[in-house]
């Protein structure tokens, strides 16, 4: 049994920050910014997690600070756990910063338990982690020894039992400060005062009582695998095996009227390396050719091709989760599949070209016309923002076409904010017959260094020939400028 605690390497905390300077990660707890973790230098200067950031700053004005990212920590821990798969399949997370490995029967490859521990610690240290590790007969014993930096269980403090704070204090008040103090005394005096659970904890930590760890990998909704007696050396053969597995998966999904949006194929090499291929779709699917086409495309898009090495001895296909997908009713006239086909096309294009290369427009909440829409990857679910509808009885306020950038025009208009009377655009003079405005849109001052900028006065105008334009005066006459420039920004249908 093994327990690892991952510390952070200062180098990962911020570029340019001296590694020996005091540093802390902070997060908001109970309404205040508090230290969540500190480096060694900060610890030596008396800072500790839980301290209010302002108090810490009061003591150390130069304290380096970054936001605590628990998600990144969890990901890091997962990533380390992935790496530990090489030692044993029984890896459990002990969040936020620990791992427990059940190495029963696994140590012989590393020359025994000590060899395995040394190998692991060295690897992790090479990643820049500070590691505290311990070997124990039970997970609890390993946990206690690693966290309280001991090698003899009886010398560990009673806190190693992980009782309530209040109970730990009570034991200390009684003068029973070490695990050994408890072991020496009849167990009923402990259970009479602290309950059976305390006695049980003691047994699990120091008495050899074992409980199984819960391995970390969550059961996927569907997991299919095929083992080969002889390793197969060709990637195509492995893919063919995956296609078989996919067919079986689709069959099962049909039964339950469900589909999958994510599929993962894992190719296990005999030497222990694993290659994973993950594909996802915008809508739930259960279509074998589609799934396999996505896998093919993924394979082609890989920067480093899959090297079978000494061959694969196991392939695995997993579907992490299902989503409802009703059975398809093919329409007689053949048109109703368009939505599904479009989604498939998007999936294929996005997979092949990259998710950022296929995009769609979405409405944005902004007064600035050219910022009121945004392009984003088509495969993502569009933001909930709806396109603003026109008010009833109102003419369209925005043109169908926007010039990017707006084109300068020459205009004759009254001051300070009269509508244009005629304007010259592309050497052509337009006589304005109808105009409405101005619609005044002031600049986003907070994006500008001078906190200012020029407002725009927009007019919807119609010329003698019934053509409708969207023009604006850039800068308010008198207040912002004395010679405002004019632009045409769009055309109405």
Partner 1 sequence: MSGTPAFAEMVAATNYSFLRGASPAEEMVAAAVAAGHAGIGIADRNTVAGVVRAWSALRDARARLAGEGLPDIDFRLATGTRLVFVDGTPDIVAYPGSRHGWGRLTRLLTIGNRRAVKGDCILCLDDLLGHLDDLLLIVMPGGEGLRLGEEGARLHPKWQGPMAASFFQSPTPSPWRKPGPMSLATIDGVRVEEPPSGASSKPSRAAADMGSGLRRGDDCRRALVLLKEAAPDRVWLGLAMPYAGRDRRWIAKLARLAAGLDVPILATNDALYASHEQRRLHDVVSCIRLGIRLDEAGTRIAANAERHLKPVAEMARLFADYPEALAESIRLLERIDFDLEQLSYEYPHEPVPDGWTPQAWLEKLVADGIGWRYGAAPAQAVFDLVETELKLVRKARYAYYFLTVHDVVRFAREQGILCQGRGSAANSVICYVLGITSVDPVANKLLFSRFISEDRNEPPDIDVDFEHERREEVMQYIYRRYGRHRAGIAATVIHYRPRSAVREVAKVLGLSEDVAARLTSTIWGSYASKMEERRFHETGFDPGNVEIGRLNMLVGELLTFPRHLSQHVGGFVLTEDRLDETVPIHNAAMDDRTFIEWDKDDIDALGLMKVDVLALGMLTCIRKAFALIATHIGRQYTLANIPPDQPDVYDMLCLGDSIGVFQVESRAQINMLPRLRPRELYDLVIQVAIVRPGPIQGGMVHPYLRRRSRKEAVVIPSPAPPHDPGELVDVLGKTLGVPLFQEQAMKLAIVAANFTDSEANQLRRAMATFRNVGTMPRFESKMIEGMAARGYPRDFAERCFEQIKGFGSYGFPESHAQSFALLVYVSSYIKCRYPAVFACALLNSQPMGFYAPAQIVRDAREHGVEVRAIDVNHSEWDNGLEALPHPSPSGERDKLALRIGFRQIDSFREAWAKAIVVARAAGRFGAIEEIARRAALPRRAIRLLADADAFRSIGLDRRGALWEARRTPVGELPLFAAARARELGEEPDAMLPAMPLSEHVAADYQLTRLSLKGHPMQFLRDVFRREGVLSCREVAEGRNGRKVKVAGVVLVRQRPGEGKAIFITLEDETGITNVLLWARIFEVQRREVMASRLMVVEGEIQKSEEGVVHLMGVRVHDRTAELGRLSEDHRTEIELSRSDAFQHPQLPRDHEPRGSRHPRNVRVLPKSRDFH
- Which one, 385 or 407, has the nearer CB to partner 1? 385
- Which one, 33 or 402, has the nearer CB to partner 1? 33
CB of 334 to partner 1, least distance (A): 27
CB of 420 to partner 1, least distance (A): 14
CB of 442 to partner 1, least distance (A): 4
CB of 160 to partner 1, least distance (A): 15
Phi, psi (rounded to 5 degrees) for 130: -95, 130
Residue with tokens 């933001």: 383
- Which one, 333 or 394, has the nearer CB to partner 1? 394
Tokens of 94: 């002990």
CB of 429 to partner 1, least distance (A): 25
- Which one, 171 or 317, has the nearer CB to partner 1? 171
CB of 168 to partner 1, least distance (A): 9
CB of 96 to partner 1, least distance (A): 21
Q: Residues with Cβ < 8 Å from 28, sequence gap 6 or more?
A: 34
Name the site residues for partner 1 (rule: CB under 8 A).
26, 28, 33, 45-46, 50-55, 57-61, 65, 67, 169-170, 172-177, 185-186, 188-189, 192-194, 364-367, 386, 389-392, 394, 397, 436-442, 444-447, 449, 451, 455, 457-458, 460, 479
CB 421 within 8 A of CB 432: yes
- Which one, 261 or 456, has the nearer CB to partner 1? 456
Distance from C-alpha of 132 to C-alpha of 145, rounded to nearest angstrom: 9
- Which one, 203 or 441, has the nearer CB to partner 1? 441
Phi, psi (rounded to 5 degrees) for 409: -135, 165
- Which one, 127 or 441, has the nearer CB to partner 1? 441
CB of 412 to partner 1, least distance (A): 19
- Which one, 184 or 300, has the nearer CB to partner 1? 184
Distance linking the first and last C-alpha atoms of the chain:
74
Q: Residues with Cβ < 8 Å from 265, sequence gap 6 or more?
A: 242, 276, 277, 278, 295, 315, 316, 317
- Which one, 438 or 475, has the nearer CB to partner 1? 438
Angle at 75 between CA 70 and CA 78, to 5 degrees: 130
Candidates 205, 87, 95; CA nearest to 142 is 205
The radius of gyration of the chain from alpha carbons, rounded to an integer in Å, stands at 33
Tokens of 117: 């521990």
In our burial notation (b when 16+ CB lie closer than 10 A, e otherwise), range 410-436 reads ebebeeebbbbebbebeeeebebeebe
Distance from C-alpha of 4 to C-alpha of 290, rounded to nearest angstrom: 43
- Which one, 67 or 254, has the nearer CB to partner 1? 67
CB of 113 to partner 1, least distance (A): 33
Residue 83 CB-half CA count within 13 A: 15
- Which one, 61 or 405, has the nearer CB to partner 1? 61
CB of 52 to partner 1, least distance (A): 7
CB of 25 to partner 1, least distance (A): 11
Distance from C-alpha of 109 to C-alpha of 116, rounded to nearest angstrom: 8
Residue 354 CB-half CA count within 13 A: 3
Tokens of 124: 């992790």
What does 157-212 look like in DSSP terms, one character per residue?
BGGGG---HHHHHHHHHTT--BHHHHHTS-HHHHHHHHHHHHHHHHHHHHS-----
Strand partners, 434: 462
CB of 384 to partner 1, least distance (A): 11
CB 179 within 8 A of CB 158: yes
Distance from C-alpha of 419 to C-alpha of 459, rounded to nearest angstrom: 7
CB 146 within 8 A of CB 7: no
- Which one, 125 or 366, has the nearer CB to partner 1? 366
């Amino acid at each position: 049994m093994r327990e690892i605690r991952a510390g952070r390497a200062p180098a990962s905390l911020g570029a340019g920050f001296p590694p020996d300077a005091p540093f802390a990660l902070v997060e908001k707890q109970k309404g205040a910014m508090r230290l969540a973790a500190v480096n060694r230098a900060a610890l030596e200067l008396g800072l500790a997690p839980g301290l209010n950031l302002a108090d810490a700053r009061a003591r150390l004005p130069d304290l380096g600070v970054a936001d605590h990212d628990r998600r990144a920590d969890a990901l890091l821990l997962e990533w380390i756990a992935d790496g530990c798969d090489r030692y044993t399949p029984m890896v459990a997370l002990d969040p936020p910063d620990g791992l427990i490995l059940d190495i029963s029967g696994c140590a012989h490859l590393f020359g025994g338990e000590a060899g395995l521990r040394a190998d692991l610690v060295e690897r992790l240290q090479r990643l820049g982690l500070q590691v505290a590790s311990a070997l124990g007969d039970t997970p609890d014993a390993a946990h206690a020894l690693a966290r309280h930096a001991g090698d003899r269980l009886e010398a560990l403090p009673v806190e190693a039992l992980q009782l309530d704070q209040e109970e730990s204090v009570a034991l200390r008040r009684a003068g029973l400060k070490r695990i050994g103090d408890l072991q020496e005394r009849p167990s009923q005096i402990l259970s009479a005062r602290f309950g059976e659970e305390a006695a049980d904890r003691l047994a699990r930590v120091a008495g050899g009582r074992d409980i199984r760890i819960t391995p970390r990998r969550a059961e996927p909704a569907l997991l299919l695998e095929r083992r080969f007696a002889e390793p197969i050396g060709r990637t195509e053969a492995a893919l063919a095996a995956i296609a078989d597995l996919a067919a079986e998966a689709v069959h099962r999904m049909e039964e339950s009227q469900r589909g999958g949006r994510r599929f993962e194929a894992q190719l296990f090499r005999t030497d222990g390396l694993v290659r994973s291929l993950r594909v996802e779709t915008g809508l739930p699917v259960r279509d074998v050719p589609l799934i396999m086409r996505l896998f093919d495309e993924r394979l082609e898009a890989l920067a480093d091709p899959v090297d079978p090495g000494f061959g694969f001895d196991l392939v695995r296909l997993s579907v992490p989760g299902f989503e409802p997908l009703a059975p398809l009713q093919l329409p007689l006239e053949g048109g109703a599949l368009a939505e599904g086909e479009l989604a498939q096309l998007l999936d294929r294009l996005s997979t092949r070209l990259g998710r950022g290369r296929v995009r769609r427009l979405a409405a944005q909440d902004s007064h600035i016309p050219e910022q009121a829409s945004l392009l984003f990857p088509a495969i993502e679910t569009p933001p909930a923002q709806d396109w603003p509808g026109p008010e009833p009885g109102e003419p369209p306020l925005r043109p169908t076409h926007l010039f990017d950038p707006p084109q300068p025009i020459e205009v004759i208009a009254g001051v300070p904010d009269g509508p244009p009377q005629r304007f010259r655009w592309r050497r052509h003079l337009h006589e304005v017959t109808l105009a409405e405005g101005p619609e005044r849109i002031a600049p986003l001052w907070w994006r500008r260094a001078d906190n200012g900028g020029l407002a725009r006065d927009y007019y919807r105008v119609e010329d003698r020939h019934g053509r409708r334009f969207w023009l604006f005066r850039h800068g308010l006459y008198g207040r912002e400028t004395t010679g405002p420039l004019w632009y045409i920004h769009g055309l109405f249908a």
